[in-house]
Structure 1
Amino acid sequence: MSLRFNYRQVNAPAFRAMMTMEQHTGGRGLDKVLTELVKIRVSQINGCAFCLDMHAKDLLKLGDYQDKLVLVSVWREAPIFTEKERAVLELAEAVTHISHDGVPQEVYDRVREFVSEEEYVDWIMSINMINSWNRIAISTGMYPGLF
């Protein structure tokens, strides 16, 4: 695999805009472990090796989450995930596959059992950010260990 070009250098304003949005979503007080699990799961779905590698490492820096890291791709069958984690991971999958079924009402309702409307928007923004990062990384040929 080879990098097509370094988009950060080629279009620094675009990179800064993405970073501004990332800083906004990261500063909203969402659970850091669950945020990393969402980023990992979305990156798995999208096939983004660069982001998957980065966020797996970021999760492990937060503590002993090896089991969750290994099982996040099969979270529905793994009892180690809380009901809130399950709801948010389901939302992440629905938003990532938005063209399939949108976000079904039952997914929305399940998430809203655990979060306010404001936090729901924060999760949507966070999910959209990792989807955007995945698309940039894949489109430009980024790979694990590049930076």
Structure 2
Amino acid sequence: MTTTIPARTTARLDLKGLAPEVSAAMGEPHRAAVRAGRAAGVGPELLELARIHASQLNGRAFCLDVHTKDTRAQGETEQRIHTLAAWRETPFFTERERAALAPAEAVTSVQDGQVPDEVYAAAREVFDEPRVTAVNWAAVVINAYNRTAISTRMVPGAHQPAPRS
């Protein structure tokens, strides 16, 4: 027996229209996480990889659409984007990127329990505390956005990346 899963082509709720003040406020944690990353020396490319991977784990098409477009606009390769879900099995990611992907994955996969001490310790071998903190905040914020997309069935496709400066 096969089950057909209908495509979700319409959003369930218009959060921006119905609660614009909350929607606008959701942007501040993202901007703050970006600032924390910049201050800690964690580039936007690395944080985008973490956001994409968290969105892959959560199965969020809307967030995948946004962040894969944004990271491509920053110069990321298709090969790395396509293999990000299996980052442990590829030679395409640096030690630094792996040190960010593992904690982002652990923060996203909290249904498995707490973030393991080994994940944190491995990240600390590569990053100082401000960098680990920046990666953590990026993962927490994208997970909040993923939950928003889940609950409202946000439809992917319309996002266009900001022009590169």
Shorter-chain TM-score range: over 0.9
- Residue in 2 aligned with 1:118? 130
> 2-side partners of 1:93 and 1:45: how far apart?
8
Say if 2:26 is the partner of 1:18. Answer: yes
- Following superposition, the deviation at residue 99 of structure 1 comes to 3.0
- Following superposition, the deviation at residue 54 of structure 1 comes to 0.9
From 90, 93, 98, the equivalent of 1:78 is 90
- Residue in 1 aligned with 2:4? none
- Residue in 2 aligned with 1:103? 115
- Superposition TM-score, scaled by structure 2 size: 0.84
Q: Is the 8 A contact 2:54 2:142 kept in 1?
A: yes
Amino acid at match of 1:25: A
- Residue in 1 aligned with 2:17? 9
- Superposition TM-score, scaled by structure 1 size: 0.94
> 1-side partners of 2:117 and 2:45: how far apart?
26
Say if 2:61 is the partner of 1:49. Answer: yes
Cα deviations by residue, 1:27-81 (Å, 9 ceiling, x for unpaired) = 2212211111111111111010000011111111011421110110000010010
Identity of aligned residues (%): 37
Say if 2:101 is the partner of 1:89. Answer: yes
Whose Rg is larger?
2
Aligned residues: 147
> 1-side partners of 2:82 and 2:111: how far apart?
27
After superposition, the CA RMSD in angstroms is 1.3
Structure 1 unmatched runs, 5+: none
Larger mean Cα displacement after TM superposition, 26-35 or 67-76: 26-35
> 2-side partners of 1:146 and 1:58: how far apart?
12
Structure 2 unmatched runs, 5+: 1-7, 160-165
